[in-house]
Structure 1
Amino acid sequence: MSTRERDPSLPLPPGTVREVFGAFLLLGLTSFGGPVAHLGYFREAFVERRRWLTDAAYADVVALCQFLPGPASSQVGMALGLQRAGLPGLIAAWVGFTLPSAVLLVAFAFGVAALGDAAGTGWIAGLKAAAVAVVAHAVIAMARTLAPDARRAGLAAAGAVVVLLAPHPGVQVAVIVAGALAGLALMRGPAAPDAGTLGVHVSRPVAVGALALFAVLLAGLPIAAAVTGNGAVALAETFYRAGSLVFGGGHVVLPLLEADMVPTSLVDRDAFLAGYGAAQAVPGPLFTFAGFLGASTTTGPTGLLGAGIALLAIFLPAALLTVGVLPFWDRLRQAPKARAALAGVNAVVVGILGAALYDPVFTAGITSAATMALAVAVFAAQRVFSLPAWAAVLGAGLVGWVFL
């Protein structure tokens, strides 16, 4: 009997980058259903089957990545790759999990461009109607979890009102900051119970360096974009900022990116919503929607270069924060103030996503009685029959192609 079999709490010997890449590539090809489903796939693959870590350690990794901004499932994958094979393992986990959906969405962007007027095609109308149902489903689910009481529901409503009346990226950032301050003032709570340690070892100098780089890029990229006027830097700044400020999962990236890219005509609104609908129908992280947008820009870098810049920029904050916070997480997660601030932030992002449900999702996706009927049907299929989002979106695209 092996040492691992005698005591499952003991860590496995270090793995290889190739092993990590192969495991996450398989998940990137098969993980449909959004971030919550991804976390279930990860647990089955790495706790139960491969036994890379224990249930308690996995729960701690998940808790960390829900606390940080960015794509939670991708961050969990990065942390697991880091644990298994160091920093190269983190990169291998991200590439493996992200590559399949990124390739599909970039290919979709080229297809939309080749078709010309996206708004005039029925299957695009179907995807846009499906996006209404998918976002509505996400708003309801997030509200139940993140705004379940009067105080947090009030913060969500206030956030929605502000963003609807002043739809600007800077206003959304201010709402997130205000949510954190309101959480500190209104929702002081007990510390989290001790759940053990992560079992992921990063030296403090490396962690501090990662956090410093995160802050330097967040502050410096807007200045660099303004000073140089370079389209590639401006594109990187847009996606880096979005990846740094998104709390609550992939759906919340929608309003941040829409406010940056559609009013400035970087991406056509119809193409934006069509790409968002298509992102529901592919496996892997929803943040690969950035690849579609980067490939679809009308000015500056476009095509494969734009897609590459957008993908790297939107995922880089998640990687830096994962590396930077790990050594300090055991202490941070016990702090009542940190938990209260996060509760406030989570509440207002429900409001931000609710505002996005109206504009641009509903206003652009519902253009007739037929598209409204299709959106209602997709919503019912998800809520009543638990139809996976990817299947609902593919079905809506097919219905739109045939009937709209």
Structure 2
Amino acid sequence: MNQKNTTLKTLFEILIVSSRLGFTSFGGPIAHLGYFHEEYIRRRKWMDEKSYADLVALCQFLPGPASSQVGIGIGVMRAGVLGGIISFIGFTLPSVLALIIFALVLQGFNISDAGWLHGLKLVAVAVVAHAILGMSQKLTPDLKRKAIALFALVATLLWQTAYIQVAVILIAAIIGFSLYKHHKSEEESTISFPVSRRFAIICLILFFGLLILLPILSEMTSVSWIAMFDSFYRSGALVFGGGHVVLPLLEREFVPTGWLSEEAFLTGYGATQAVPGPLFTFAAYIGAVINGWQGGLLATLAIFLPAFLLILGTLPFWTILSKNPAMKGALMGVNAAVVGILIAAFYHPIWTSSILDPIDFAFAAILFSMLVFWKLPPWVIVASGAVGGWLLSFINM
């Protein structure tokens, strides 16, 4: 009975914490990693720094929504598969509901120039800067790893293609393996993943099976919901680089085929930038435009299902491999590269779309100080950013 009560308490805690993040995590996938780091690692210490870095490295390497996969992974490590599902629901549901409502009610409103939205972008600047400082101290302590991070930063900034990030991580793994294969780590990962390898193999078979079978079923049956499920599933399964990459892919999938108009797509694009949570929830908007709230929920399930199957299918093997000394060296290289990728994303698109004049920089510095020096909760920073952005819109008029 006590064990059952403890499990329910843990699941309820995951739901509360992930839901709060779902309501307050603005700024896209890189910013979400910063929010997760602040809440799960710094404040609650649900994982150690090394385990979190390894999880982020894996999710950066996998296709799909990296930040959502990190959130699912943390939930699974905390309370099994059910914990991962609840963590996903808490983080994702607020933006899914918001975008379905946008699709059904607010399509005619232009929110792209809203002052409060600009304020939330400045919040992302502060959050990501804080995450980079914390992670760089742990993951790039020596000159060799600083050099790997610099290589990743330069490469991802100069060649901004969908697959360059994967190439950079592979190269960093090879360099890390060469440099650190005999390195003895002082800090061991305490990562534990309560999922069997048999279950993991089933998840991987499902992932690839659906990827092959859904297009065939779509062609054979001509059933609209199967075709829609196939389009969203493929988008979620084959996208590297996170949410910003999936938006143009979804446009190619749905606008030329006549599922929705260019105007409706751009309205939803603006709405997606305005809500917290993962950018992949743009699928909920498209699904709701096509087929009401039922379509929104179906699209959400389809686009996030690959992320679930991949994280559940790879983590049990990842934890075994990560204990191998040679693999640890590769991981050290990958973790250093992740820091460089974070810095590159901090500059573009976060900095370039947010810091437009000196007053923006000044306000971002205030938000950063509130977060780092005064250690105020993230929701306070988000609320301050929204109000401050709204006030700045009057100054800049």
The answer to whether TM tops 0.5 is yes
Identity across the alignment (%): 23
In structure 2, what is the Cα distance between the partners aligned to 1:195 and 1:365? 36
The answer for the alignment partner of 1:383 in structure 2 is: 372
Distance 1:19 1:375, change over 3 A: closer
The answer for the alignment partner of 1:261 in structure 2 is: 247
CA shift at 1:173, angstroms? 1.5
In structure 2, what is the Cα distance between the partners aligned to 1:397 and 1:175? 35
The answer for the alignment partner of 2:84 in structure 1 is: 94
1:373 partner letter: A
1:178 paired to 2:171: yes
The answer for the alignment partner of 2:73 in structure 1 is: 75
Distance 1:191 1:260, change over 3 A: same
Q: 1:222-255 CA deviation, whole Å, 9 max, x = no partner?
A: 998xx9996654443343345xx6xxxxxxxxx5
1:372 paired to 2:370: no
Aligned pair partner of 2:201 in 201, 204, 208 = 208
RMSD, matched Cα? 4.4
CA shift at 1:396, angstroms? 0.8
CA shift at 1:368, angstroms? 3.1
Structure 2 spans left out of the alignment, 5+ residues: 25-34, 60-65, 221-225, 253-264
The answer for the alignment partner of 2:128 in structure 1 is: 135
- Count residues with an aligned counterpart: 350
Contact 2:207 2:309 in 1 (8 A): no
In structure 1, what is the Cα distance between the partners aligned to 2:107 and 2:214? 32
Q: 1:298-331 CA deviation, whole Å, 9 max, x = no partner?
A: 99969754565456644644554445543x5675
Q: Residues 266-345 of structure 1 correspond to what in structure 2 (within 5 A)?
A: 279=276, 288-291=278-281, 293-296=282-285, 305-306=295-296, 309-310=299-300, 313-314=303-304, 316-318=306-308, 320-322=310-312, 325-326=315-316, 331-345=320-334
Structure 1 spans left out of the alignment, 5+ residues: 3-11, 45-54, 83-89, 246-254, 280-285
CA shift at 1:190, angstroms? 4.1
CA shift at 1:163, angstroms? 1.3
Contact 2:371 2:381 in 1 (8 A): yes
Contact 1:105 1:278 in 2 (8 A): yes
The answer for the alignment partner of 2:236 in structure 1 is: 239
2:233 partner letter: A
Distance 1:295 1:331, change over 3 A: closer
Distance 1:42 1:78, change over 3 A: farther
311-320 vs 169-178, greater mean Cα deviation: 311-320
1:28 paired to 2:18: yes
Aligned pair partner of 2:335 in 342, 346, 352 = 346
Distance 1:114 1:189, change over 3 A: farther
Distance 1:234 1:141, change over 3 A: farther
The answer for the alignment partner of 1:162 in structure 2 is: 155
Contact 1:125 1:371 in 2 (8 A): no
CA shift at 1:19, angstroms? 7.0
Q: Give TM-score scaled by structure 1 length.
A: 0.68
In structure 2, what is the Cα distance between the partners aligned to 1:66 and 1:99? 20
2:72 partner letter: S
